[in-house]
Homo-oligomer: A and B are copies of this chain.
């Protein structure tokens, strides 16, 4: 098996599994209980949060642990003010965002910011759309279908200028920058202050941690409302008995990711190079400004869904885009946004590389993909 769909799911790594182990059965206590073994668990839970927070230059109390990136993205939008008359352009979001941002933004009347054919945010479009009513701008750090790394610091600079201008003019409305950084932590040096974000989504399941755990970084500027009320855990912003093993596992993989950023980048640069050298008859979609573990290939005229099926038969697992969108048979809104035609979208494959891959697998994958593509072209042409 050659698995090339790490953007959809990653296996939990051994260190994380080992770290989580004791918290299922031996150290199972409720962190809110008053006796010492429970307080020890509570302290270890807080330490784990501190590890995650430190990795992005924040403090444990700046994090709200959630059941994953989707919940964290949803929670970010509770920073919006509640008002009778909604201002225009209150929410701006990048048109290539994941559904967990798009759906919520749309529900709140959000307006999409365009991307350039490169997949990068169109900063002029952003500037043109910010009004005195704009409260929240949501731009992912890395796109989940293309791997495109957005110039978040530049977006943050614009946000800061607008804030200053508003202050001068006595406009009191908040302007917050949210970023979904789900795919980024093992390949980019992520720091909330340097990036200039007020809200940032993290995801355990995309960086070899357990599923069902994520976090939202919340700066002091942002005031959230809970999506889930109750016992008052997570500073009252997300109630429910803490998922202790999940957070312990999450912290373990965040620390690992942070430690190996440089090596990971070098590894994936090399693996990507092998694929691009040896694959034939494709057009590369994500040429620049991308994480090296994303390889987006367009085989114009072919049906990528059929390719996925044929490749699976030969033990190579790839995707046509986001798993949750693909499962509904929806054409990628991301590929459409960067200007691909319907036929190009239909012929596009997402290869996302990960820890289980090595150079040998890349040679083999390239050989198999070439073979399948060639056969498909032959079949279609007669």
Contact = CB atoms under 8 A, between A and B. Distances in A.
Interface of A: 1, 5, 8-14, 17, 24-26, 28-30, 32-38, 66-71, 73-74, 98-100, 103-104, 107, 205, 210-213, 227-233, 239-246, 305, 308-309, 312, 317, 319-320, 322-328
A212 B209 CA distance: 15
Contact of A74 (B212, B229, B312): B229
Contacts of A227: 74, 227-228
A71 B227 CA distance: 9
A37 B313 CA distance: 11
A232 B1 CA distance: 29
Copies, count: 2
A33 B8 contact: yes
Given A17-B25, A239-B100, A241-B205, A36 B233 contact: no
A106 B345 CA distance: 49
A324 B233 contact: yes
Nearest to A10: B28
B210 A245 contact: yes
B25 A68 contact: no
A5 B17 contact: no
A103 B233 CA distance: 13
Given A308-B34, A317-B35, A242 B98 contact: no
B229 A100 contact: yes
Contacts of A322: 231
A174 B114 CA distance: 43
A8 B29 CA distance: 8
B240 A70 contact: yes
Nearest to A244: B211
Contacts of A244: 211
Contact of A246 (B104, B211, B230, B325): B211
A147 B268 CA distance: 56
A243 B328 CA distance: 19
Contact of A228 (B26, B70, B205, B317): B70
